[in-house]
């Protein structure tokens, strides 16, 4: 960790603990900042807050009182999940107090170079692919961010001979000021998290922060097939490296004659790639471009792509029972992710979908439902909306259920040999489950119960 003097003696408020707030508190305390930690969970139920208090850090729990701002803080570090319309955050912004997420802190203290990956879909798969590919290079890759380990926690111990590969959400990026990755990867953009950002323009602006501070010395790997991505990339100062599944490119990664190319050099035949799904080709192209920029040789890239079968909860193969194949795509929390998951299969699909109602409609799914889906089982807050869209698409078999076990059982009863039973919810999980991982695990467990 760099001995960063930017924070020494500085009055800093940390709002929201969980992993990121706890890591930020420990690091800033070590850097000599004068910090106060504020978390909504009462102290008696808050193990992290108790630990920080034992370290001598001032901790205020149970609410977010506006009176905190009378302490004249110079900086606020916000948990990414706390929205900007939170009264305490909104008042801080009104008072011109800078509000950051721990990603900014991570960049400031890191001795290692950083690769940042963002987009509406495919971030986790691409981050995992890049990390695996970079294992064949001179610098040790360290995966961090939305993929699991807090970025600042990784940056705290990362040395100069490492490279941090970071999955970044719009929530994290919105709270950056000087953040500047050596390589930024922008996969795709469409309507998402509008309940958090308010407008699509605000969402896109948050994503664009991944490259806003880059210069010609830095690289921006971007999806040339996405019109919105291409439009905002045109405003960057970065050295831009495109990838395309549809077009042949002079520079960057593309597909030609059944092979993936990078800058006119064949890298791997498509027939040798283990990861299923047309949409995953975009993730693969982005990863190949990034790996080549870091200097990874084709032999190692091919080794990764012939053995990498995917990420848990992202088109994860679960089981084949009596000729029916089950796939867990619980990480599909928006429409595009579900559309791509369905299109990965040529067989008839029985779709399990539903979850948190963010106020959006589902009509965009109608074309893909008409093409591939024979039945829809819906659950959660959006169950009726999804059933209505399925009926609009002309799907005759629809069913509303209360929970995942009922959904799996209903899908299996409807199915025939050769069908795909796919959990791809198109919604966040928070109406019934704490995380999409918990929802996916419930699906997997319910599938296994069918064997009993």
Do 80 and 111 lie in one domain? The reply is no
Domain termination site, one of 100, 134, 164: 100
Do 289 and 324 lie in one domain? The reply is no
| Look-up of token digits 């149970």 | 62
Is 227 inside a domain boundary?
yes
Count Cβ atoms below 10 Å from residue 231 Cβ, excluding itself.
Answer: 11
Do 94 and 124 lie in one domain? The reply is no
How far, in whole angstroms, is CA 30 from its chain's centroid? 29
Domain termination site, one of 82, 100, 118: 100
Do 270 and 121 lie in one domain? The reply is yes
Is 354 inside a domain boundary?
yes
Q: Domain with 152 in it: what CATH number?
A: 3.40.1190.10
User: What is the model's pLDDT at position 259?
Assistant: 97
Residues 183-229 pLDDT 10s? 999 999 876 555 665 688 888 999 999 999 999 999 999 999 999 99
User: What is the model's pLDDT at position 263?
Assistant: 95
Do 134 and 253 lie in one domain? The reply is yes
Q: What is the 3-state secondary structure (H, E, C) of the chain?
A: CCCCHHHCCCEEEEECCHHHHHHHHHHHHHCCCEEEEEECCCHHHCHHHHHHHHCCCEEEECCCCHHHHHHCCCEEEECCCCCCCCHHHHHHHHCCCCEECHHHHHHHHCCCEEEEEECCCCHHHHHHHHHHHHCCCCCEEEEEECCCCCHHHHHHHCCCCEEEEEECCHHHHHCCCCCCCCEEEECCCCCCCHHHHCCHHHHHHHHHCCCCCCCCCCEEEEECCCHHHHHHHCCCCCEEEEEECCCCCCCCEEEECCEEEECCEEEEEHHHCCCCCHHHHHHHHHHHHHHHHHCCCHHHHHHHHCCCCCECCECEEEEEECCEEEEECCCCCCHHHHHHHHHCCCCCEEEEECCCCCCCCCHHHHHHHHHHEEEEEECCCCHHHHHHHHHHCCCCEEEECCCHHHHHHHHHHHCCCCCEEEECCCCCCCCCCCCHHHHHHHHHHHHHHCCC
Q: Domain with 355 in it: what CATH number?
A: 3.90.190.20
Is 1 inside a domain boundary?
no
User: What is the model's pLDDT at position 195?
Assistant: 61
Do 120 and 262 lie in one domain? The reply is yes
Bridge partner residues of 185 (DSSP):
117, 221
Do 48 and 133 lie in one domain? The reply is no
Do 262 and 325 lie in one domain? The reply is no
Contact status, residue 166 vs residue 117, Cβ threshold 8 Å: yes
First to last CA, the chain: 52
* Alpha-carbon span 163 to 201, nearest angstrom: 31
Share of the chain above pLDDT 70, in %: 97
Residues 417-448 pLDDT 10s? 999 999 999 999 999 999 999 999 999 999 99
Average per-residue pLDDT for the chain: 93
Do 265 and 372 lie in one domain? The reply is no
Do 45 and 144 lie in one domain? The reply is no
Q: pLDDT category, 316, cuts 50, 70, 90?
A: confident
Is 396 inside a domain boundary?
yes
Cite the annotated binding site by residue number. 119-125
User: What is the model's pLDDT at position 197?
Assistant: 54
Tokens describing residue 379: 């659950």
* Alpha-carbon span 43 to 401, nearest angstrom: 38
Residues 79-125 pLDDT 10s? 998 989 999 999 999 999 999 999 999 999 999 999 999 998 889 89
Do 283 and 420 lie in one domain? The reply is no
* Alpha-carbon span 226 to 129, nearest angstrom: 21
User: What is the model's pLDDT at position 340?
Assistant: 86
Residues 362-416 pLDDT 10s? 999 999 999 989 999 999 999 999 999 999 999 999 999 999 999 999 999 999 9
How far, in whole angstroms, is CA 237 from its chain's centroid? 25
Is 2 inside a domain boundary?
no
User: What is the model's pLDDT at position 196?
Assistant: 61
Q: pLDDT category, 325, cuts 50, 70, 90?
A: very high
The pTM for the full model equals 0.78
Query: 118, 149, 124, 116: which is closest to 22 by C-alpha?
Result: 149
What is the count of structural domains for the chain? 3
Domain termination site, one of 42, 76, 100: 100
Cite the annotated binding site for ATP by residue number. 119-125
Q: For strand 140-145 and strand 75-78, is the pairing parallel, antiparallel, or unpaired?
A: unpaired
Please state at what angle helix 278-294 crosses helix 298-305, rounded to 10 degrees.
150
Domain of 15 in residue numbering reads as: 8-100
Is 148 inside a domain boundary?
yes
Do 258 and 193 lie in one domain? The reply is yes
* Alpha-carbon span 312 to 331, nearest angstrom: 9
């Amino acid at each position: 960790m760099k001995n960063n003097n930017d924070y020494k003696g500085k009055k800093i408020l940390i709002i929201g603990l969980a992993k990121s707030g706890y890591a930020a508190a420990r690091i800033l305390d070590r850097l000599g900042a004068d910090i106060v930690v504020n978390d909504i969970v009462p102290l008696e139920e808050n193990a992290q807050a108790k630990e920080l208090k034992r370290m001598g850090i001032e901790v205020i729990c149970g609410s977010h009182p506006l009176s905190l701002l009378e302490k004249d803080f110079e900086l606020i570090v916000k948990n990414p999940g706390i929205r900007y319309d939170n009264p305490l955050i909104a008042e801080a912004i009104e008072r011109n107090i800078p509000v950051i997420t721990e990603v900014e802190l991570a960049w400031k203290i890191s001795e290692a170079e950083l690769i940042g990956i963002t987009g509406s879909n495919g971030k986790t798969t691409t981050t995992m692919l890049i990390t695996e590919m970079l294992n064949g290079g001179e610098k040790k890759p360290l995966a961090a961010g939305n993929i699991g380990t807090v970025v600042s926690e990784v940056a705290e111990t990362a040395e100069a001979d490492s490279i941090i590969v970071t999955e970044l959400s719009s929530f994290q990026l919105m709270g950056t000021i000087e953040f500047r990755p050596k390589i930024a990867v922008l996969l795709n953009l469409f309507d998402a998290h509008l309940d958090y950002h308010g407008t699509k323009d605000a969402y896109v602006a948050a994503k664009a922060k991944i490259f806003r501070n880059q210069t010609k010395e830095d690289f921006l790997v971007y999806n040339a097939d996405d019109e919105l991505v291409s439009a905002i990339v045109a405003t960057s100062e970065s050295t831009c490296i495109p990838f395309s599944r549809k077009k042949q490119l002079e520079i960057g990664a593309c597909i030609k004659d059944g092979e993936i190319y990078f800058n006119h050099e064949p890298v791997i035949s498509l027939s040798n790639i283990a990861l299923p799904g047309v949409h995953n080709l975009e993730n693969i192209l982005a990863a190949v471009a990034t790996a080549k920029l870091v200097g990874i040789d084709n032999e190692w890239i091919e080794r990764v792509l012939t053995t990498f079968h995917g990420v848990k909860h992202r088109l994860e193969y679960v089981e084949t029972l009596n000729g029916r194949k089950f796939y867990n795509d619980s990480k599909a929390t928006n429409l595009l992710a579900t559309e791509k998951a369905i299109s990965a299969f040529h067989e008839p699909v029985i779709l399990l979908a539903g979850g948190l109602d963010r106020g959006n409609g589902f009509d965009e799914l109608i074309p893909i439902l008409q093409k591939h889906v024979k039945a829809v089982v819906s659950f959660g807050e959006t169950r009726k909306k999804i059933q209505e869209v399925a009926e609009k698409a002309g799907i005759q078999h629809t069913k509303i259920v209360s929970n995942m076990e009922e959904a799996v059982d209903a899908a299996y009863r409807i199915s025939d040999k050769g069908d795909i039973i796919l959990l791809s919810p198109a919604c966040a999980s928070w109406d019934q489950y704490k995380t999409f991982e918990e929802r996916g695990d419930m699906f997997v467990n319910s599938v296994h119960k069918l064997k009993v």
